[in-house]
Amino acid sequence: MEKDQTADPAVPRPVRLAFRVSYLGTRFYGSQQQESSRTVEGEFIAACRRLDLFSDWRAAGFYSAGRTDRGVHARGQIVAFSTSYPDRARQALNNQLPLDIWCTASAEVSDTFHPRYDARSRTYRYYYAEPVRDLQAMEVAARLFLGEHNFSNLARVGDKNPWRTILGIRTGFDGRFTYLEVTAHSFLWHQVRCMAAALFSVGIGEQDADGILLLLNEKTRRPIPPAPAEGLVLWDTDCGIAWVPIEKSERSGTYCAELRRHHALMEQVCRVLRPEQP
């Protein structure tokens, strides 16, 4: 039987910690643990075990604020667990995590803190790979999503309640890319990606705002297909936490810099090899 560390006077009393986590989702089969696939939670738990922060993730109360699908990225995921070695966790986790996951901030939280159930809201951003011709029309259509709506035509609902309340929504530019930013208490599976796809069709002139109203108010034969997962980022999770920043990981910073150089090179190669238009 495993020794109860809380009863050992040589082991400090466990402290519950929350971490704000970023990751590149490209090489993960989603965030939730799976037996035979690489996942964000699986890698995070493995790093905690290597540091001897805990041995059993269930006993440590390890939880994430939410799940992300395969290929989806995060800037504001939150994980929480209890450990008797909080200083070790804050100082060493980024050195044990793989290069495509890194912690950006930490906080000591209450013993009962649960990042999923204590989340006040979640914000996602969707970055469009293709150019949008009419951002103003897209912005007008986006406002139709504000408030409470039935998202049966814009999500994979299953046995869930299809009604969700959108607290905030906007479009904008970030570098060369148009993005959609959406905030809600909670989302259905594929909801943001379906909303992104519907609004993109407005932005390129395939439909107007009336098409969005039909999706929200009329039953359709087939739900709208979601936009590709690679453009989606879990941007922020608001749990009312006063975060203490963690020093930027040199390992992950170098990795991201290498990725940028690689993609810049690939873009140049494609420009050279792309056949000229007649």
Catalytic machinery residues: 69
Q: What is the DSSP letter of 12?
A: P
Tokens of 231: 């453009």
Residue 9, SS3 per DSSP: coil
Q: How many residues does the chain have?
A: 278
Closest CA to 22 of 225, 197, 278, 243: 243
The pair phi, psi for residue 183, each rounded to 5°, is -125, 135
DSSP state letters, 58-126: TTTT-EES----TT-EEEEEEEEEEES-HHHHHHHHHHHS-TTEEEEEEEE--TT--TTTT-SEEEEEE
